[in-house]
Structure 1
Amino acid sequence: MIVLLAGLWPGLAVALLLGLGIGALSGWPRDRAVPLGLAAAVLGLGGVAAAGLVTGVAGLWLDGGALMLAAYAAGCALGSLVRPDRTGPDGA
Protein backbone atom coordinates (compact mmCIF):
# COMPACT_ATOMS: atom_id res chain seq x y z
CA MET A 1 0.00 0.00 0.00
CA ILE A 2 2.88 2.36 0.72
CA VAL A 3 4.29 1.72 -2.76
CA LEU A 4 0.87 2.50 -4.24
CA LEU A 5 0.64 5.75 -2.30
CA ALA A 6 4.21 6.67 -3.19
CA GLY A 7 3.43 6.33 -6.89
CA LEU A 8 0.03 7.99 -6.81
CA TRP A 9 0.59 10.89 -4.41
CA PRO A 10 0.61 13.57 -7.16
CA GLY A 11 -2.81 12.42 -8.38
CA LEU A 12 -4.11 12.23 -4.82
CA ALA A 13 -2.89 15.76 -4.10
CA VAL A 14 -4.53 17.10 -7.27
CA ALA A 15 -7.79 15.26 -6.45
CA LEU A 16 -7.80 16.75 -2.94
CA LEU A 17 -7.07 20.27 -4.22
CA LEU A 18 -9.69 19.96 -6.95
CA GLY A 19 -12.21 18.77 -4.38
CA LEU A 20 -11.37 21.68 -2.09
CA GLY A 21 -11.91 24.14 -4.92
CA ILE A 22 -15.14 22.58 -6.15
CA GLY A 23 -16.50 22.29 -2.61
CA ALA A 24 -15.66 25.92 -1.85
CA LEU A 25 -17.32 27.10 -5.06
CA SER A 26 -20.47 25.03 -4.83
CA GLY A 27 -21.02 24.58 -1.10
CA TRP A 28 -22.83 21.70 0.53
CA PRO A 29 -25.51 20.12 -1.70
CA ARG A 30 -29.10 20.80 -0.70
CA ASP A 31 -30.22 17.29 -1.65
CA ARG A 32 -29.03 14.48 0.61
CA ALA A 33 -28.87 12.03 -2.31
CA VAL A 34 -25.68 13.59 -3.67
CA PRO A 35 -23.42 13.03 -0.63
CA LEU A 36 -25.00 9.63 0.02
CA GLY A 37 -24.41 8.56 -3.57
CA LEU A 38 -20.81 9.75 -3.47
CA ALA A 39 -20.25 7.95 -0.17
CA ALA A 40 -21.77 4.78 -1.63
CA ALA A 41 -19.47 5.02 -4.65
CA VAL A 42 -16.41 5.50 -2.43
CA LEU A 43 -17.37 2.57 -0.20
CA GLY A 44 -18.27 0.34 -3.16
CA LEU A 45 -15.04 0.99 -5.04
CA GLY A 46 -13.03 0.72 -1.84
CA GLY A 47 -14.66 -2.58 -0.99
CA VAL A 48 -13.95 -4.06 -4.42
CA ALA A 49 -10.37 -2.78 -4.27
CA ALA A 50 -9.81 -4.11 -0.74
CA ALA A 51 -11.28 -7.50 -1.61
CA GLY A 52 -8.83 -7.87 -4.49
CA LEU A 53 -11.48 -9.00 -6.96
CA VAL A 54 -9.72 -7.26 -9.85
CA THR A 55 -6.07 -8.12 -10.41
CA GLY A 56 -3.28 -6.90 -12.64
CA VAL A 57 -3.22 -3.53 -14.33
CA ALA A 58 -6.99 -3.18 -14.07
CA GLY A 59 -6.71 -3.69 -10.30
CA LEU A 60 -4.08 -0.97 -10.11
CA TRP A 61 -6.41 1.39 -11.98
CA LEU A 62 -9.25 0.46 -9.64
CA ASP A 63 -7.12 1.00 -6.52
CA GLY A 64 -5.92 4.36 -7.81
CA GLY A 65 -9.42 5.43 -8.79
CA ALA A 66 -10.83 4.45 -5.41
CA LEU A 67 -8.12 6.39 -3.58
CA MET A 68 -8.53 9.45 -5.79
CA LEU A 69 -12.31 9.41 -5.50
CA ALA A 70 -11.99 9.28 -1.71
CA ALA A 71 -9.52 12.19 -1.75
CA TYR A 72 -11.82 14.19 -4.03
CA ALA A 73 -14.87 13.50 -1.85
CA ALA A 74 -12.97 14.51 1.30
CA GLY A 75 -11.80 17.68 -0.43
CA CYS A 76 -15.36 18.52 -1.51
CA ALA A 77 -16.64 18.04 2.03
CA LEU A 78 -13.87 20.16 3.55
CA GLY A 79 -14.16 22.82 0.86
CA SER A 80 -17.88 23.18 1.39
CA LEU A 81 -17.24 24.14 5.02
CA VAL A 82 -15.49 27.38 4.04
CA ARG A 83 -18.43 28.69 2.00
CA PRO A 84 -20.12 31.39 4.13
CA ASP A 85 -23.68 30.96 2.76
CA ARG A 86 -23.71 27.19 3.05
CA THR A 87 -26.24 24.95 4.62
CA GLY A 88 -24.63 22.21 6.63
CA PRO A 89 -25.18 18.49 6.33
CA ASP A 90 -28.08 18.71 8.76
CA GLY A 91 -29.85 21.34 6.60
CA ALA A 92 -29.51 24.08 9.22
Structure 2
Amino acid sequence: MLLLTGLWPGLLGGLVLGLAVGRLAGPPPAAIAAGLGLAGLALAGVAAAGLVPGAPGLWTESAALMLAPYLAGCALGALSRRRPPGAPKA
Protein backbone atom coordinates (compact mmCIF):
# COMPACT_ATOMS: atom_id res chain seq x y z
CA MET A 1 0.00 0.00 0.00
CA LEU A 2 2.91 2.30 0.73
CA LEU A 3 4.24 1.72 -2.77
CA LEU A 4 0.87 2.76 -4.23
CA THR A 5 0.83 5.89 -2.09
CA GLY A 6 4.19 7.05 -3.38
CA LEU A 7 3.75 6.01 -6.99
CA TRP A 8 0.20 7.15 -7.79
CA PRO A 9 1.39 9.99 -10.07
CA GLY A 10 3.37 7.47 -12.10
CA LEU A 11 0.40 5.11 -12.24
CA LEU A 12 -1.87 7.89 -13.47
CA GLY A 13 0.78 9.02 -15.95
CA GLY A 14 1.15 5.45 -17.23
CA LEU A 15 -2.60 5.18 -17.75
CA VAL A 16 -2.81 8.50 -19.60
CA LEU A 17 0.27 7.70 -21.70
CA GLY A 18 -1.16 4.26 -22.49
CA LEU A 19 -4.46 5.81 -23.60
CA ALA A 20 -2.62 8.17 -25.94
CA VAL A 21 -0.32 5.50 -27.37
CA GLY A 22 -3.16 3.01 -27.81
CA ARG A 23 -5.30 5.61 -29.55
CA LEU A 24 -2.49 6.58 -31.92
CA ALA A 25 -1.25 3.06 -32.64
CA GLY A 26 -4.55 1.21 -32.82
CA PRO A 27 -5.06 -2.47 -32.09
CA PRO A 28 -1.81 -4.49 -32.23
CA PRO A 29 -1.43 -7.87 -33.90
CA ALA A 30 -2.37 -10.78 -31.67
CA ALA A 31 1.23 -12.01 -31.31
CA ILE A 32 2.46 -8.66 -30.01
CA ALA A 33 -0.42 -8.36 -27.56
CA ALA A 34 0.23 -11.89 -26.28
CA GLY A 35 3.96 -11.18 -25.93
CA LEU A 36 3.33 -8.01 -23.94
CA GLY A 37 0.90 -9.85 -21.70
CA LEU A 38 3.40 -12.62 -21.02
CA ALA A 39 6.18 -10.12 -20.34
CA GLY A 40 3.93 -8.30 -17.88
CA LEU A 41 3.05 -11.54 -16.12
CA ALA A 42 6.72 -12.55 -15.92
CA LEU A 43 7.69 -9.17 -14.46
CA ALA A 44 4.84 -9.36 -11.96
CA GLY A 45 5.93 -12.86 -10.99
CA VAL A 46 9.52 -11.75 -10.36
CA ALA A 47 8.29 -8.80 -8.32
CA ALA A 48 5.85 -10.88 -6.29
CA ALA A 49 8.44 -13.57 -5.57
CA GLY A 50 10.92 -10.99 -4.30
CA LEU A 51 13.79 -12.44 -6.30
CA VAL A 52 15.57 -9.10 -6.64
CA PRO A 53 16.66 -7.54 -3.32
CA GLY A 54 17.38 -3.92 -2.43
CA ALA A 55 16.98 -0.90 -4.68
CA PRO A 56 16.85 -2.94 -7.92
CA GLY A 57 13.99 -4.90 -6.34
CA LEU A 58 12.12 -1.67 -5.68
CA TRP A 59 12.67 -0.67 -9.31
CA THR A 60 11.39 -4.07 -10.47
CA GLU A 61 8.31 -3.85 -8.28
CA SER A 62 7.67 -0.27 -9.41
CA ALA A 63 8.01 -1.24 -13.07
CA ALA A 64 5.62 -4.17 -12.63
CA LEU A 65 3.15 -1.94 -10.84
CA MET A 66 3.29 0.80 -13.49
CA LEU A 67 3.16 -1.60 -16.44
CA ALA A 68 -0.38 -2.74 -15.61
CA PRO A 69 -2.13 0.67 -15.98
CA TYR A 70 -0.01 1.44 -19.04
CA LEU A 71 -1.09 -1.77 -20.79
CA ALA A 72 -4.70 -1.22 -19.69
CA GLY A 73 -4.56 2.29 -21.13
CA CYS A 74 -3.11 0.96 -24.37
CA ALA A 75 -5.92 -1.56 -24.64
CA LEU A 76 -8.62 1.01 -23.92
CA GLY A 77 -7.08 3.50 -26.35
CA ALA A 78 -6.86 0.88 -29.08
CA LEU A 79 -10.48 -0.12 -28.52
CA SER A 80 -11.57 3.49 -28.88
CA ARG A 81 -10.04 3.55 -32.34
CA ARG A 82 -11.76 0.40 -33.56
CA ARG A 83 -14.61 1.05 -36.00
CA PRO A 84 -17.83 -0.94 -36.02
CA PRO A 85 -18.26 -3.37 -38.95
CA GLY A 86 -19.59 -1.69 -42.05
CA ALA A 87 -18.56 1.82 -41.01
CA PRO A 88 -17.02 3.95 -43.76
CA LYS A 89 -13.27 4.58 -43.61
CA ALA A 90 -12.21 8.13 -42.82
How many angstroms apart in 1 are the aligned matches of 2:65 and 2:40?
A: 8
Give the aligned CA root-mean-square deviation in angstroms: 1.6
Q: How many pairs were matched up?
A: 85
Q: What does residue range 4-83 of structure 1 map to in structure 2 within 5 Å?
A: 4-29=3-28, 31-83=29-81
| Identity percentage of aligned residues | 56
Structure 1: gaps spanning 5 or more residues: 88-92
How high is the TM-score relative to the length of structure 1?
A: 0.86
How high is the TM-score relative to the length of structure 2?
A: 0.87
* Counterpart contact for 1:80–1:86, Cα < 8 Å: no
Structure 2: gaps spanning 5 or more residues: 86-90
Give the superposition deviation at 1:86.
7.9
How many angstroms apart in 2 are the aligned matches of 1:69 and 1:24?
A: 17
Give the number of the structure whose residues are more often helix, by fraction. 2
Aligned amino acid, residue 4 of structure 1: L
Q: Looking at CA atoms only, which structure, 1 or 2, has the larger radius of gyration? A: 2
Q: Which runs of structure 1 show a deviation greater than 6 angstroms over 4 or more consecutive aligned residues?
A: none
